[in-house]
Amino acid sequence: MWFPVLLLVWPLVEIALFVTVGSWLGLWTTLAIVIGTGVLGVWLIRRQGLRAGDALRRAMAARRDPGAGLAETVLGLGSGILLILPGFLTDAAGALLLVPAVRRWVAERLIRQAGSVRVVRTGGPGPRGGPEVIDGTWEELPSDETRLPPSGWTRP
């Protein structure tokens, strides 16, 4: 119920803020702020996108749950998107998400709201302390040497 209301109210608030801030600062200063925050948003998205891949890789290599780090990284991407969108309300929300303490707080709330995280273990003891059994079928395939001609990338 609140989402359609938000979609109606948000543009109206942005227009009101544009008119108010534009009358205080003038047209060119207002446009410079909007363009500057858009450029900052593009830069943040590029930076956070690279960080997301690195954080995921490090967490998986250390066999840790990447959820909290990825949630903060996604919120950093969201901050960049909000800064790209023209408007002072979205810029304020994007700037708030740039503060690490705020981003951590929002990430914790989102993770809590998403429910419990299930960790899937591979290997190790099963549910009653015995070995973990994975049921499946298999088929032995002939080696690559007999099926395919040499690719040129491997040694003969």
Question: In this predicted model, which residue has the larger pLDDT, 20 or 57?
Answer: 20
Domain ranges, residue 82: 9-113
* Residue 151, in any domain of the structure: no
DSSP 125: B
Tokens of 152: 């040129």
The terminus-to-terminus CA distance of the chain in angstroms comes to 67
Mean pLDDT within 105-121 = 69
Rounded CA gap, 97 and 41, in Å? 12
Rounded CA gap, 6 and 104, in Å? 24
* Residue 74, in any domain of the structure: yes
Burial class, 72, CB count within 10 angstroms (exposed 0-12 / middle 13-18 / buried 19+):
buried
- The pLDDT value recorded for residue 156 is 55
- The pLDDT value recorded for residue 153 is 66
Q: What is the pTM of this model?
A: 0.63
HSE-up of 148 (CA within 13 Å, CB side)? 9
- Structurally, how many domains does the chain consist of? 1
Give per-residue pLDDT as tens, 35-78: 999 999 999 888 887 777 787 788 778 877 777 677 778 888 88
* Residue 139, in any domain of the structure: no
